[in-house]
Structure 1
Amino acid sequence: MSEYAAAAAPQPSPAPPVVVARDLTKVYGGAGSTVRALDEVSVSFARGAFTAIMGPSGSGKSTLMHCLAGLDTVTSGTVHLGGTEITRLRDRELTLLRRDRIGFVFQSFNLLPMLTAEQNILLPARIARRRTDPARLARIVEVVGLGERLHHLPSALSGGQQQRVAVARALLGDPEVVYADEPTGNLDSRSGAEVLGFLRDSARDLGQTVVMVTHDPVAAAYADRVVFLRDGRLVDEVYGPTAETVLDRLVKLES
């Protein structure tokens, strides 16, 4: 790690990792014009932990998430989800893995406007013809606080409520990991705080592994751990972050 790592809080005893990347490299372009978006990144994400990925613009944080999730190919290195090396899977196998073992929350809510909140939450399971556990559905609805809004269309929900529907949808299938890419980017500060609280609660109360890309130190402070990238390399990490410690790290990385 960097010279800043010595100031980080002591690392807790790690839980078994759910996602492991080893020497991950991603190069774009060719014929003398290449960009090394990731440069031998090795990182793991523990079960039931909420981790934020941060770094200056162009540091490779979104590329890292896309490679971890099998949304982009890697130039070299490996990514394992549980016992599966996803970097060796074919397109069809990757599609099934993303459907059955990974949850996604994006900046855009991606809700179908003609379906109620409950129907949007249940839609991926129904498309996959997968049985829904009523007890898990009830627990997730409780965690995200949507009990009184399940029968409303998205147009009758606030932005924060719509993103909570998206979070519930991502959690319902009990995925091994949920990837959240700037999940509060379209929300005001109050709604953003609600969604971040639900992601944190899903890790603590449901044992969900959550990995979030964000540029916001306040958002990162909801996580258990923050890892920092610069120029495609993993250069620092902080456990038990606060907005102030995260901002301090970012300022040092950009100086």
Structure 2
Amino acid sequence: MLAIDDLRLRRGQGDSAYEVRLPALRMARGDVLAVVGGSGCGKSTLLEGIGLLLKPERVRAYALGENADVAALLGRDDEPALAALRASRIGFVLQTGGLLPYLSVRENILLPRRLLSLPADGERVRHAIEVLSLGRLLEKRPAHLSIGERQRVAVVRALSHDPDVLLADEPTSALDPDNAGKLFQLFIDLARDCGLATLVVSHDWDLVRRFGLPCLEPALQPGLSTFSMRGEL
């Protein structure tokens, strides 16, 4: 589903430049992987590179599914094709939810489908709404939701257009420990039920340990983070 070799990303210039490297990554449908590490080690930068929001300095190979040679698109700087790939094959859960305040919960969830001209009704959307208990909230605006409810809506929106890969940047950081654990469990269950290759950035080591997730963890050098696979924390 997702295969990446020698991905290199850079932030900043000159003496303040910081490089993030991912030597190799392989994920199948339903795999859930945590990206862990201390503040400032490049976790979000790595997610942006994998999600095609940040152009890499170098990538030797990047394949998404059976027919998307992302490395070739990056090599020829084919932004229209990369944008189409981001919109259709990748789902994002932002740390702050990122819901549009003037749309209802239902409209926020269905927005990615509308932008891709997909039918409003979808089995994955129905399943996610049921699992996350959002049915009674569909006509409300984000301002009338709790933080936890907004994050649950953001999760459903991220997978509503049937992506292959789901990327989540600290989806539980604004929640208390009890609600963070509940949302994390629902998030993982949904990702596996829907067959999504899922990477979730988390600073909460205890939460990652509790769910026994394999991890991408950085080895740190001055100006460089190299993320490698390891087993459970």
- Match for 2:68 among 66, 78, 84? 84
The two structures have a TM-score, normalised by structure 1, of 0.79
- The aligned residue for residue 44 of structure 2 is 62
- Encode CA deviations 1:29-72: one digit per residue, 9 max, x unaligned: 55x63635224521222210111011233333222211111111
Any residues of structure 2 matched to 1:190-205 within 5 Å, and which? Answer: 190-205=178-193
- Match for 2:84 among 96, 103, 106? 96
Shift of the 100–75 alpha-carbon distance from structure 1 to 2, 3 Å rule, reads: same
User: Which sits farther off after the overlay, 76-85 or 150-159?
Assistant: 76-85
Kept in 2: contact 1:70–1:86 (CA 8 A): no
SS of the residue corresponding to residue 111 of structure 1 reads coil
- The aligned residue for residue 23 of structure 1 is 6
- The aligned residue for residue 250 of structure 1 is none
Shift of the 42–142 alpha-carbon distance from structure 1 to 2, 3 Å rule, reads: same
In structure 2, distance between residues paired with 1:73 and 1:223: 32
SS of the residue corresponding to residue 33 of structure 1 reads helix
- Encode CA deviations 1:166-203: one digit per residue, 9 max, x unaligned: 10011111110110011112222233223212211112
- The aligned residue for residue 50 of structure 1 is 32
- The aligned residue for residue 135 of structure 1 is 123
Kept in 1: contact 2:112–2:160 (CA 8 A): no
SS of the residue corresponding to residue 125 of structure 1 reads helix
Which one-letter code corresponds to 1:60 in the other structure? G
- The aligned residue for residue 226 of structure 2 is 233
Matched, 1:122 2:106: no
SS of the residue corresponding to residue 34 of structure 2 reads strand
Kept in 2: contact 1:200–1:223 (CA 8 A): no
Any residues of structure 2 matched to 1:133-212 within 5 Å, and which? Answer: 133-212=121-200
Kept in 1: contact 2:2–2:197 (CA 8 A): no
The two structures have a TM-score, normalised by structure 2, of 0.86
In structure 2, distance between residues paired with 1:223 and 1:107: 22
- Match for 2:204 among 207, 210, 216? 216
How many residue pairs get aligned? The number is 222
Shift of the 112–25 alpha-carbon distance from structure 1 to 2, 3 Å rule, reads: closer
In structure 2, distance between residues paired with 1:56 and 1:134: 38
Shift of the 163–28 alpha-carbon distance from structure 1 to 2, 3 Å rule, reads: closer
Structure 2 stretches of 5 or more lacking a match?
Answer: none
Identity %: 34
Structure 1 stretches of 5 or more lacking a match?
Answer: 1-17, 247-255
RMSD (Å) for aligned C-alpha atoms: 2.0
1:133 positional shift:
3.7
